[in-house]
Each structure stands twice: as structure tokens, then as C-alpha cells.
Amino acid sequence: MEMERLEKVEKLRERAQVTYDEAREALEQAGGDLLDALILLEKQGKVPPPQGGGYHRSEGSTAAEQGAQNKEEGSQEQGKEDRQETSNFKETLERFWNFLSGLIKKGNTTSFEILKDKDHVASFPVTVLVLLLLFAPWVTLPLIIIGLFLGFHYQFVRNDS
């Protein structure tokens, strides 16, 4: 027990750059908590506040107030992360929708044409062909293959209007 206390005093002394007596006294006042002892020394002006844009608020506040403030800051950061995740999801969804609508638009402006001896037999948008292949492949694929044996030719034509 005494060794643990001595180690805490030594750590506090190194961090705060204070004497053993000051470190021991601050640690006793803080109930053995290193962080509270460091904050206490900071309030007494024996420890310089953090340098370089770090956020600190030990003046005029108790450890409980700081804990509540840290909890509030944590919940604010969590809220920011949630909003950022929602924003990222919305952006991803929007990009997917733009890709899908562009693909459908391209499918509607490109035609699948059926030719027999260089004569135009039928033509319909590629989107219709894709839907037929998705929902009725057992009918669509055999018809296309049988058409090849009967001398039909197929081509894709882009209709730029």
C-alpha cells in the first residue's frame, strides 16, 4: 500500500514538477486520485496549463463538474459522428441512385434490334431486354438462341436524340 502511494507521489512529482511534500499533500487532498491531484495543483498555480491548443477547464470547477462536462462533450462528439455517418450514408445512397438512374437512362436510349436478312424485324430498349432476361430467362434465352439458328441477327443501336 505504501509502495503504491509512493509511486503515485513520484508520478505526480514528475508530471507536475513539484516537491515531494507538495505532491503528497495534493494526493492526500484528492483522496489518492492522480488526476484530481494534478488538477488541484493546476488550480493552485503550481502546474502550468496544457500548451498548444489543448482544451482544459480546471479553473473554478470541481471534478464532478468536469466529469459532467466531459460526458457532455463525449455525447456531442457522438452526435457529430452519428450525423457524419448519416451524411456518408446519404451520399452513398445518392451516388448509387445517380448511377442507377444513369444506367436506366442509357438502357432506354440504346435499342436491341432484331434483323432477318438485313430487314428490320423488331426493336426495343435494352432496359426491356434486361427485364425480360431477369424475370423470364427460360423464355428469352431460348428464343434468342433459336432465332440465331433461323437466321436472325441481333444488334445494339444507340439512339442519340
Write out the chain's pLDDT in tens, 161 residues. Answer: 576 888 888 888 888 888 888 888 888 888 888 888 888 888 888 777 666 655 555 555 555 555 556 666 666 666 666 677 778 888 899 999 999 999 999 999 999 999 998 899 999 999 999 999 999 999 999 999 999 999 999 999 998 75
Count of domains forming the chain: 1
Q: Are 30 and 40 in contact (CB under 8 A)?
A: yes
pLDDT of residue 70: 60
Q: Is residue 151 part of a domain?
A: yes
Q: Is residue 137 part of a domain?
A: yes
Residues in the chain: 161
Query: For the whole model, what pTM was predicted?
Result: 0.43
Q: Is residue 16 part of a domain?
A: no
111 φ/ψ angles, rounded to the nearest 5 degrees:
-110, 150
Instruction: Note the Cα 148 to chain centre separation in Å.
Output: 50
Q: Is residue 33 part of a domain?
A: no
Q: Is residue 149 part of a domain?
A: yes
Q: Is residue 71 part of a domain?
A: no
Beta strands 119-125 and 152-158 are: unpaired
pLDDT of residue 54: 52
Surface-to-core class of residue 90, CB atoms within 10 Å of its CB (0-12 exposed, 13-18 middle, 19+ buried): exposed
Place of cell 456518408: 88
Q: Is residue 134 part of a domain?
A: yes
Q: Is residue 125 part of a domain?
A: yes
Amino acid identity, residue 19?
T
67 φ/ψ angles, rounded to the nearest 5 degrees:
-60, -45
For residue 148, what are the domain limits?
Answer: 108-158
